[in-house]
Amino acid sequence: MRAIRRFTVRTVLPEALSALDDLALNLRWSWHAPTRELFASIDPTLWEDVHGDPVKLLGALTSERLTELANDGDFVARVQGLAADLGTYLSEPRWYQQEASRRASAGEAELPRAIAYFSAEFGITAALPQYSGGLGILAGDHLKSASDLGVPIIGVGLLYGAGYFRQSLTRDGWQSETYPLLDPDNLPLTLLREPDGTPARVTLALAGGAELHAQVWRADVGRVALLLLDSNVPENDDAMRRVTDRLYGGTSEHRLQQELLLGMGGVRALRLHARLSDGPEPEVYHCNEGHAGFLGVERMRELVEAEGLSFDAALEAVRSGTVFTTHTPVPAGIDRFDAGLVAQYFGGAAELPGIPVDRVLALGAESYEGGGEGIFNMAVMGLRMAKKANGVAQLHGTVSRGMFAPLWPGFDVSEVPIGSVTNGVHAPTWVDPQFAEAQAEHFSSDELADGQGWLKAEGGIDDDTLWRLRGMMRERLVEDARKRVRASWLRRGASPAELGWVDDVLDPDVLTIGFARRVPTYKRLTLMLRDQDRLRKLLTDPERPIQIVVAGKSHPADEQGIRLIQKLVQFADDPEVRTRIVFLPNYDIEMAQTLYPGTDVWLNNPLRPLEACGTSGMKAALNGSLNLSILDGWWDEMYDGHNGWAIPTADGVEDADRRDDLEAAALYDLIENTVAPRFYDRDEHGLPLHWLENVRHTLATLGPKVQATRMVRDYVEQLYAPVALSYRDADGPGHTGAVELAEWKAKVRAAWPSVRVDHVESEGLHDAVKVGDHVTVKAFVSLGDLAPSDVEVQMNYGLVADNDEIADFGTASLELTDTYEGGRHQFARAFTLQQAGPFGYAVRIVPKHADLAAPTELALVTNA
């Protein structure tokens, strides 16, 4: 019989064990091994059955067992000790507080009082399945590392009723998706309530007079609060209740409604949380991809409604405190809506007072060369509403500047105001607990932080111990893979009698290669299958065999990706190789925490440069795995020739099949001739010394670079702190800074058509120009109604290529030297020639104001 309603009755704990609730509801347990060990000790079998979920564990305990535990003095003492440890973690000053004190002592600007971090998905733990892939895992690691550093971040997202899908396989290897409904009362969440105990609500007005109501759940991620909006409330009709039904599903309008709730509703959730918790309002709003872009419109609405600001002044006030991060290197990865659909939600009866629909549409319009007419682009809106923007790796920053360059016509691609902060990963989440424990036993905290413990000669981890640890991690992966392969085949319809061979799946002594990620076509899941005979030979080599563990989900609407999975699965089903290559369904955090540590080599072979960053290889590296990857994403900047291998790319080959053939052949060659021989080259004690040298080098030099704590510090220092300053400049009574900046920008835009470079002269150029000669450049310009202080006249200079392009140029400002009638002025600069070769310069005029993030902010430039 099927239940017509489902709800969870939570356990009432004995007083002596009441702290278990706090330990279970604060997600720090997901990266704090002693807390997990405490829960596991209650009932090891049940702990495994509930997949390491403390809330489910406590809910499944009998009253008799709870009474027994409450009477166990040693257990109660452990609970109290860990509760005290959590209390210390939540309250003690950490890096952020120490940095704030240092800045105060040095008279430097104050760090942000609070930062709001918006993301469509968060991958914190398998017990809270609100993620699909890398974006969510990155967001989760961002929050966890912010907590460890004491950074006052508040996360904002949606609570999806079914999360992302659960993947299984049909008999013929086709991906099958199911969406198990989640019960929030059985998740590590608490519901925000008003002082009278009623559930708190946020409400949005939508098109056609509809209203969207949402309750707000709070997840405690260590010191960080994560607010998750949930539309499944009685006040909504069926359509509105389904807005948060699943992650990345539904129609275009369904996605738009989700993003309106995330952005606009998310701001309202922040206000609600601040009122109920008496916490500080954010000074910085970080939009992690474009999904939450409407947060800016909501903040503008607040300012227009509460303070009577104009649209333009409100826009400046909002922009002053916004950071935007792009995660995609391809236009297809960006949410783009029909502008007419967006207009339905911001026009007519739904129009917000003081927020004209045409101005909203202009924020996301692709009104540039090559843009699509009638399209509303969420990434474009994110960039237009942000003071600072970044990609997620150095190469991705370069790719993003090229992709979005049309937004800044007239500027060089290198000047497009998109920087980069390379992603990192949260080591306590992804490093195998035994491996982490061994490091803690042998290394000091400083040696752990800088990686130098791996290089010390005395008192460190010797080769024999390191190899034994690596073998233990590989063995755990083999054991886990066999369980998963058996379960998958049973779901595919096999009988237990057919599955005797599963006991021989993988070998704990064989070189193990891992490949796990989402399955869009550009990640090339099946590149390894280009020459199947050669792959079989590598897998079955009698002396130096390899084995491959593969996992990954394809979006349900991406049939091409699903076919790639089927092709891989059907190859892995071949009895000749099925014990050497496996596909593990339902790739998630729980699987990954065994998979990454158990691999010897982590394979990544995307089409360069289509990988934004890709952090799975970072997680493997922190466990001593060596990367074998195309030079893309993070690997492009961190590969040093000793921490793994770079797969050669067939750059310039336009035929896609030919390129794949060449790069697959290069991959096979590396494995056959370099990787496998090095792994199996053993000394008299059975140790692969050369291999272990590479492992040590990776752990010592790459380990510190890939930490998410490094990433979050970079965000604080390069983005959050500067943006907080600009926010304060625009904030205050009447937002006079924002009003003045908006008025100045309006003046500059109106006058810009009259701005021109009339004439450029140079003095000091002789027939034979030598290094050390002095040259003076004079620019005669017309500024119309603008004052000289409104602009900067610049000279870009450098070595000139054969096509007269200055690829790598410097920029210098010319000084005002004379003023004439009719808005004409002379600017000049003397400089010394310091480099031999073909030299050139160009002169241009750009707007200048102390509150601009960069000269590119208005996208206005006049070139000579």
Residue 335 confidence class, pLDDT cut points 50, 70, 90: very high
User: Which among 274, 123, 27, 141 is positioned nearest to 266, based on CA atoms?
Assistant: 274
β partners of residue 763: 776
pLDDT the model gives residue 861: 98
Q: How far apart are alpha carbons 175 and 158 in whole angstroms?
A: 26
Exposure b/e, 202-211, CB count within 10 A at least 16 = b: bebebbeeee
Residue 493 has pLDDT above 80, yes or no: yes
Distance CA 624, CA 775 (A): 56
Q: How far apart are CA 319 and CA 95, in angstroms?
A: 28
| Other Cβ atoms closer than 10 A to 110 | 13
Distances (CA, A) of 758 to 636, 646, 791: 44, 51, 15
**Is residue 629 exposed (0-12), middle (13-18) or buried (19+ Cβ within 10 Å)?**
buried
Q: Residue 458: its pLDDT value, please? A: 87
Neighbours of 577 (CB within 10 A): 19
* pLDDT above 70 (res 851): yes
Q: Has residue 765 got a pLDDT over 80?
A: no
Residue 491 has a pLDDT of 97
Q: Token pair for residue 55?
A: 């809330």
Q: Is the pLDDT of residue 8 over 80?
A: no
- pLDDT digit string, tens, across residues 352-406: 999 999 999 999 999 999 999 999 999 999 999 999 999 999 999 999 999 999 9
Q: Are 321 and 761 in contact (CB under 8 A)?
A: no
Torsion of CA 573, 576, 579, 583, to 10 degrees: -30
Residue 6: per-residue pLDDT: 57
Helices (H), 206-309: 238-241, 252-260, 266-277, 295-307
The pLDDT score that the predictor gives to residue 147 is 98
Nearest to 805 by CA among 817, 795, 796: 796
Confidence of residue 244 (pLDDT cuts 50, 70, 90): very high
For the segment 114-122, the average pLDDT, to the nearest whole number, is: 98
Q: What per-residue confidence (pLDDT) applies to 808?
A: 86
| For the chain, percent of residues with pLDDT exceeding 70 | 99
The pLDDT confidence band at residue 757, using thresholds 50, 70 and 90, is very high
**pLDDT at 163 (0 to 100):** 84
- Main-chain phi, psi angles of 581, to 5 degrees: -140, 130
Whole-number pLDDT of residue 261: 98
**pLDDT at residue 7 above 80?**
no
- CA-based end-to-end distance of the chain: 79
**Each residue of 623-640: pLDDT tens digit?**
999 999 999 999 999 999
Q: How far is Cα 524 from Cα 540, in angstroms, rounded to an integer?
A: 23
How does the average pLDDT of the chain come out, rounded?
95
- The amino acid that residue 422 corresponds to is T
Tokens of 17: 């064990």
Q: Is the pLDDT of residue 766 over 90?
A: no
User: pLDDT of 173-212, one tens digit each?
Assistant: 999 999 989 999 999 999 999 999 999 999 999 988 899 9
Residue 11 pLDDT: 75
Name the band, by pLDDT with cuts 50, 70 and 90, for residue 588: very high
Residue 266 CB partners (closer than 8 Å, separation 6+): 116, 118, 156, 157, 227, 229, 292, 295, 298
What is the 8-class DSSP label of residue 193? B
pLDDT band at 4 (very low <50, low <70, confident <90, very high): low
pTM: 0.96
Average pLDDT over residues 776-798: 96
Q: What is the DSSP string of 58-70?
A: HHH--HHHHHHHH
42 pLDDT above the threshold of 60: yes
CA atoms of 626 and 726, how far apart (whole Å): 43
Which residues on adjacent β-strands are paired with residue 355? 352
Instruction: Name the percent of the chain lying above pLDDT 90.
Output: 91
The SS3 assignment for 610 reads coil
Q: How confident is the model at residue 217 (pLDDT cuts 50, 70, 90)?
A: very high
Looking at residue 829, the DSSP 8-state letter turns out to be E
pLDDT tens profile 630-678: 999 999 999 999 999 999 999 989 999 999 999 999 999 999 999 999 9
113 CB neighbour count, 10 Å cutoff:
14
